[in-house]
Structure 1
Amino acid sequence: MNGQRTLSLGFSPCPNDTFMFYPLVHGLVDTSGISYRERLEDVETLNRLALAGALDVSKVSYHALGHIRDDYALLRAGSALGRGCGPLLVASRSIDPCDLGSQTIAVPGRYTTALLLLRLFNPGLTNFLVMPFNEIMDAVLRGDADAGLIIHESRFTYQGYGLRKLVDLGEWWEGETGLPIPLGGIVARRSLGGATIAAVERALADGVAFARSHPEQAARYIGEHAQEMSREVCAAHIQLYVNDFSVDLGDEGVRAIHCLMERGERAGIIPVSGAPLFCGEQHP
């Protein structure tokens, strides 16, 4: 790579993303001469931007990855993947999960992993009301939806709204597969070329490791983008979604992603693809 190259970089304003990307976008790690033009959007907006091929590098839901594998390669660093961190289905009243087929469910986007998991959990569900993730709990409380599929910081705050948990989809996934749950990952446009993608991956991995070693440095940046979140919720969010899988997916993380892709394909929710997950890898 000759000279400076600028890449568009999309990630969400959620604390786990701003925490991980702070060192990269502020030049605290070696970026191999690449600079980044950041764009912060909610995850479903990022999914749609990636579907349109509008970003060079981006955070996406693993559900969205299933639709863009031909054009984007997954990076081994930067993922939100783990145990005890899955989406929750909540309601203001007790509803038997077997009776959900007749209920309206508010969901945080058609390409979110949360919706993919819900459809795998119960393929008979079809009555979805799509809205931004931060509006779901209020919609359930108003009665606009019978139940809501919540992600991100809502996991820590739903009980304060008087809502009750109906299904923990992460718990269901782990029980079904024995694997951690893949929620979101970082992708890079394949047309960037192997050398550039490898440089981005190295810098991101170094940035995540730096952030975990210097957690206080990103505090102001995180706070600027999480203004409605308490410091305690921010800390809990980062602790839950940033872990060893965020530095490197490892064999177990890769198995979990392949499992999710295969189940989504078999269910007809995501298209079958012959593209490998990673740049330079042969299709398994």
Structure 2
Amino acid sequence: MKIAYSPCPNDTFVFHALTHGLIKGTPPFDVTYADIDVTNHLAIDGDPKKHDVMKISFAALPWVLEDYALLSCGGALGRGCGPLVLTANDENNPNDLQGKRVAVPSERSTAYLLFRLWTAQQVEGNIGDVVVMPFHDIMPAVQNGDVDAGLVIHEARFTYQNYGLKKLVDLGDWWEKDTGYAIPLGAIIARRSMDREALAGWIKQSVDYAWEHPEASREYVRTHAQEMDEEVAQNHIDLYVNEFTKELGEEGYGAVEAFLGRAAKEGLVPDDQLHRLRF
């Protein structure tokens, strides 16, 4: 079975047992390690026969639901981990973004959709140009004045002050207060022709195994985490592997439906397949 997920600690932690023959009755797995932007592209534009199971952004889900189904486990929803909008000045009025140039790391990401939903609610009028650039270039671009604001994720939450930048908004904090839901981040999808019930059962067993035997996956996680400090890797796992990873449940599905439903209402994602979110 062909599966694609990122080399990030949360994914390697979750899928270690599944892809290392530790779950009884599973087939052999052929693993592709790829950044989520790559798997988004593979799911939307690639041949669905080449990958049976993939980790993608929830923001990409509306484009793939005809060929792939959302699994109820293995993914990531989180609290306290939202993207930030940064500027180089002390202004904290969202309307300051009117007509401004904003850098984002991707236009097919949860972070981008959250940004657009926030601006639709909070900014009177339109922002200016949206510029897609590599994640690591965004904070220097804001610092240098090449763009007026930047949308950042991950470790930039903890390092933006080093660039002299200011936080205009924490989009995760806004989303949680506005909806009460966690942020839908990464989804696990499988080809609709597969036995998705069996697959979901195996993934849930893999999550349980990871929690019960955290030492078993330690070397696997470390190998793929590249230069990431071991403590940082563990914090990454603790943040993104939670009850929603084991089972989305009504709260998890509610978060996904609220997120994509709002995005569809704003014309940011197609809505013709959203009725298939739960089957």
- Report the Cα distance in structure 1 between the residues aligned to 2:22 and 2:62, rounded to whole angstroms: 32
Q: Which residue of 1 aligns with 2:258?
A: 259
Q: TM-score, normalised by structure 2?
A: 0.88
1:163-185 per-position Cα deviation (integer Å, ceiling 9, x unaligned): 43221111111111111111111
Q: Which residue of 1 aligns with 2:23?
A: 29
1:221-244 per-position Cα deviation (integer Å, ceiling 9, x unaligned): 222222232222212211111101
- Report the Cα distance in structure 1 between the residues aligned to 2:138 and 2:217, rounded to whole angstroms: 28
Q: Which residue of 2 aligns with 1:178?
A: 180
Name the amino acid aligned to 1:101.
Q
- Report the Cα distance in structure 2 between the residues aligned to 1:154 and 1:207, rounded to whole angstroms: 30
Q: Structure 2: 5+ residue runs without aligned partners?
A: 121-125
- Report the Cα distance in structure 2 between the residues aligned to 1:11 and 1:139, rounded to whole angstroms: 30
| Equivalent position SS for 1:268 | coil
Shift of 1:154: 3.1
1:150-172 per-position Cα deviation (integer Å, ceiling 9, x unaligned): 22333344345544322111111
- Report the Cα distance in structure 2 between the residues aligned to 1:217 and 1:184, rounded to whole angstroms: 24
Q: Which residue of 2 aligns with 1:66?
A: 62
Shift of 1:101: 2.8
Match of 1:189 among 188, 191, 202: 191
Report if aligned partners of 1:78, 1:185 keep a CA contact under 8 Å in 2: yes
Match of 1:10 among 4, 9, 14: 4
Q: 1:167 to 1:238 in 2, by over 3 A?
A: same
Q: Name the count of aligned residue pairs.
A: 269
1:119-143 per-position Cα deviation (integer Å, ceiling 9, x unaligned): 0111333522213334433443444
Identity score, percent: 46
- Report the Cα distance in structure 1 between the residues aligned to 2:207 and 2:160, rounded to whole angstroms: 29
- Report the Cα distance in structure 2 between the residues aligned to 1:226 and 1:266, rounded to whole angstroms: 38
1:57 maps onto 2:50 in alignment: no
- Report the Cα distance in structure 1 between the residues aligned to 2:226 and 2:70, rounded to whole angstroms: 30
Over the residues paired in the alignment, what is the CA RMSD in angstroms? 2.0
Q: 1:120 to 1:230 in 2, by over 3 A?
A: same
Match of 1:152 among 151, 154, 165: 154
- Report the Cα distance in structure 1 between the residues aligned to 2:227 and 2:137, rounded to whole angstroms: 13
1:276 maps onto 2:276 in alignment: yes
Name the amino acid aligned to 1:110.
E
- Deviating beyond 6 angstroms after TM superposition, the runs of 4 or more aligned structure 1 residues are none
Q: Which residue of 1 aligns with 2:129?
A: 127
Shift of 1:92: 3.9
Q: Which residue of 1 aligns with 2:123?
A: none
Q: 1:235 to 1:258 in 2, by over 3 A?
A: same
Report if aligned partners of 2:78, 2:240 keep a CA contact under 8 Å in 1: yes
Q: Structure 1: 5+ residue runs without aligned partners?
A: 1-5
| Equivalent position SS for 1:16 | helix
- Report the Cα distance in structure 2 between the residues aligned to 1:236 and 1:120, rounded to whole angstroms: 28
1:109 maps onto 2:106 in alignment: yes
- Report the Cα distance in structure 1 between the residues aligned to 2:216 and 2:88, rounded to whole angstroms: 39
Q: 1:35 to 1:238 in 2, by over 3 A?
A: same
Q: 1:153 to 1:178 in 2, by over 3 A?
A: same
Greater Cα shift, 77-86 or 32-41: 32-41
Q: Which residue of 1 aligns with 2:234?
A: 235
Q: 1:154 to 1:211 in 2, by over 3 A?
A: farther
